[in-house]
Amino acid sequence: MPDGLTRHLEAELNALREAGTYRTERELEGPQDAEVKVNGREVVMLTSNNYLGLANHPRIRAAAREAVDAWGYGMASVRFICGTDSLHLELEERIADFFEADAAILYTSCWNANEALFATILDDPDAVFSDELNHASIIDGIRLCKARRHRYPHADLEALEKLLDEDESRHRVVVTDGVFSMEGELADLSALLDLCERKRATLVVDDSHATGVLGARGRGTAEEQGVHGRIPITTGTLGKALGGAAGGFVAGPRAVVETLRQRSRPYLFSNALPPMIVAASLAAFDLLDAEPERVARLRENTRWFRDALRERGFDVREGIHPVVPVMVGDTALAIRLSGELFERGIYVSGFGFPVVPKGEARLRCQISAAHTRDELARAVDAIAEVGQSAGVIVA
């Protein structure tokens, strides 16, 4: 006989089912790639963060396999207790160089990195200013810290300036996503840097969706905007463009990184990143540097896809990022179209309220350097077909 709590949760789950917002997961029968196998058939994957197509790349797979043989499977503890592999140190140095930072520290995810950062470096007399559309991991990371919290309207630098002017805290940190993942929209890092410098604040950028994606060498939003090497503190993930397995990091001044190593709870109390993932991530950085044409192909694929959808009459917002939202308005419609597209061999997610504002539901397409033109063309045809019958084509 279920207890009261279990019955309560069952009722809530049933309510989700009735509201049509219960999430189900599709079962993949093979590797994550430009096309994936589901229910015995191949479908075009248009909704993963596999931006550079490295999630199933032979060199990445080989690096992981070789590392299992050379370094074993797991670390079986945290680094300050059981030791640090040379591989961890090598990857941290690589990440620091990548961002032209003094130092970097690894976590098992960017979620953990964001959870670690604010609570460790800020205290009672300090303040943090966060864009209202920042990622959930930043929001939760800030919740864990004792500093005063301010939320500024999305990308509104005038409002941010006013908040900074009214605040007299000891240390002030402004934090933004480099790329906002529902829109593929870039933060204006140059303007934010300028504001932070004038107002005695430290800028933190979570560049998870731009690392390996933006800038000619894939260095991210800052490189794209001509301010590479100037961001005081960067957080990011190895779980998207750079192989897509797991791992996150903070890169910044040595004192910040050393403080995190001494005091941050996810570093001190949670297992180290497994060596196979560290080795494969190093291979991903090698591939990015050896083949910058991957970044160019991703850019070109994205441009082609956006243009093709616009030619078919869709409302596709301006942008250069491989997140390409196709606006459909209504949440139920976005979910329905996502299902219809899947039937046509295109795997794309529909997002609606509360993840995005009411009336702005969308199909969020994500392009990869691994997509062939044929795969993208099939996706555009299918989106046009279902969009036409649903009346969401604007032209």
Ligand X SMILES: Cc1ncc(COP(=O)(O)O)c(C=O)c1O
Which residue numbers are catalytic?
181, 209, 240
Return the number of the residue (111 or 347) whose C-beta is nearest ligand X.
Answer: 111
- Residue number with CB closer to ligand X (176 or 331): 176
Total residue count of the chain as it appears in this document: 395
CB of 3 to ligand X, least distance (A): 33
283's tokens: 């291979």
Nearer to ligand X, 140 or 158 (CB): 140
Closest C-alpha to 191, from 176, 210, 180, 208: 176
Residue 206 C-beta: closest distance to ligand X, Å: 5
Q: Can you tell me the distance from the alpha carbon of 72 to that of 68, in angstroms, rounded to the nearest whole number?
A: 5
Contacts 24+ apart (CB under 8 A), 88-97: 88/272, 88/273, 88/275, 88/278, 90/278, 90/282, 91/278, 91/281, 91/282, 92/249, 94/282, 94/285, 95/249, 95/251, 96/251
Query: CB of 34 within 8 A of CB of 53?
Result: yes
Give 239 or 275: the residue with its C-beta nearer to ligand X: 239
Q: In which residue are the tokens 């248009």 written?
A: 46
Contact 236, 207 (CB under 8 A): yes
Distance separating alpha carbons of residues 265 and 123, to the nearest angstrom: 15
The radius of gyration of the chain from alpha carbons, rounded to an integer in Å, stands at 22
What is the DSSP-derived secondary structure letter of residue 66?
A: H
User: Which residue lies nearer to ligand X by CB, 23 or 200?
Assistant: 23
Rounded Cα–Cα distance for residues 98 and 90 (Å): 12
CB of 110 to ligand X, least distance (A): 3
| Chain residues that interact with ligand X, rule: CB under 6 A | 109-111, 135, 137, 177, 181, 206, 208-209, 237, 239, 248
Q: How far is the CB of 135 from ligand X (least distance, A)?
A: 4
CB of 203 to ligand X, least distance (A): 15
